[in-house]
Amino acid sequence: MLLKIAKTTALLALTACTLNAGDFNAQAEKDRLALIDYTVSKFKDPSANKNKFFPNSTDAELKKFKKAPTHQDFAAGTYTFDMIGKQSRDDQMDMPPFEENIENGEVLFEKHFKNCFKADTANKYPMFDEDKGAVVTLGGALMSCVKEAGLSDLKNKKGKKVWNMKGGKMSDVQSYLMNMAAEDEKTIDISIDSAAAAAAYEHGKKEYYSQKGYLKLSCATCHVQGAGKRVRLQYLSPLLGQVTHFPVYRVGKGKQFTLEGRLGGCNRDEGENYKLHKPGKKWSNDVLYFMSYMSNGMNIALDVRR
């Protein structure tokens, strides 16, 4: 009898685990849908929403914004609503400045990565590695290959490491992989399949929304509440769709940046002025995990920014 009860209890427990296995992303899905609703509603009619969302923008400026962009439109970042900037970007896309990056990336991938990394999985990063108990970004996975190939200590003429997660050759390889994903019409596809993965997501969300530094700013200050507002000559990009076009080519810098590179730039330059976080560490990985989940299902396309 006791054995029968034990077997029945074990079966019920296993059934419960099976039924709940898909629920680890339940809160993340609520967050994602809420962000879509907030962002789409915010930009539905910028002029009508001026007092609520754009109090410091001029009427003339808001009239130039595209009205009623859809969820998928936000894969274009600020060019979703900035029609003048979009025209300039579209002109540059006739001869994309990152074509050489893609070509270089293909050569590097074939030489160093093809036996270490599955090229058709790039759109699934960041992902939670259950064996490591941590989030691994695309850059992190590629850096593991770099170390496996004994390339991690290579330095350039200036004495800086050739392979780093912010840009350079790493950006080239990622450009190649993400461009392939775009050509195959793949979308951002982030999974949360365990309690540990859900905890990493929640940590990333908490850090994204936490105010820090003497200015008491958070990532969300600029990219959720502040999305669409202008800082000097640039509009702040929305969190929704933000990861879909990386690595991104910055015209002002004349080079590409990975997600880690751009996140580090915000962390360093945009006024938070507190503890700097290194790419590849828990803070950066978990924040990017959260950010990427928010763009789940959105189209991928490399892009050019000012």
Concatenated DSSP letters of 115-133: TTS-GGGGGG-SEEETTTT
- What is the rounded CA–CA span in Å between residue 175 and residue 139? 11
Scanning the structure block, which residue is given the tokens 């959260």? 290
Number of alpha carbons in the 13 Å side-chain half-sphere of residue 34? 7
CATH number for the segment(s) 25-64+76-305:
1.10.760.10
Query: Residue 187: beta bridge partners?
Result: 299
Angle in degrees, CA 119, 178, 205, rounded to 5:
105
Domain extents for the chain?
Answer: 25-64+76-305
Tens of pLDDT along the chain (306 residues) come to 333 333 333 333 333 343 354 689 999 999 999 999 999 999 999 999 999 999 999 999 999 999 999 999 999 999 999 999 999 999 999 999 999 999 999 999 999 999 999 999 999 999 999 999 999 999 999 999 999 999 888 888 788 888 999 999 999 999 999 999 999 999 999 999 999 999 999 999 999 999 887 778 899 999 999 999 998 778 999 999 999 999 999 988 889 999 999 998 787 654 545 567 888 999 999 999 999 999 999 999 999 987
Q: Which residue has the tokens 């849908």?
A: 33
d(CA 244, CA 169): 20
**Bridge partners (DSSP) listed for residue 299:** 187
Alpha-carbon separation of residue 203 from 45, 232, 296 (angstroms) = 33, 32, 18
